[in-house]
Amino acid sequence: METCELIDKCGFLIRYSPSNQLACQGFINRYCNGELKDQCKRKAFKMKNGTPPPDNMLPTGTFLSSNN
């Protein structure tokens, strides 16, 4: 399966990967490279709105608290 074309520009991964590498790797495996790639809510938001979602939006569509 091909890697998501937005992975290098993903605000969530850019912001949270350095401090939460293990958790982010799970999202990358499932959403960016895996079976849930077409279900990524971040990607759907970008396609619908033409702008990226907030960095604290998970690929599942839920939001991390803003103090993270």
Is position 4 within any domain? no
Q: Mark the ranges of the chain whose per-residue pLDDT is less than 70.
A: 66-68
Is position 57 within any domain? no
* pLDDT of the residue at 67: 61
Is position 14 within any domain? yes
Is position 34 within any domain? yes
Q: Which amino acid appears at position 61 of this protein?
A: G
Q: How many domains does the chain have?
A: 1
- Residue ranges making up the domain that contains 14: 9-49
* pLDDT of the residue at 62: 96
What is the secondary structure of the chain as a DSSP string?
Answer: -PPPTTGGG-HHHHHHTTT-HHHHHHHIIIIISSTTGGG-HHHHHHHHHSSPPPTTB-TTS-B--TT-
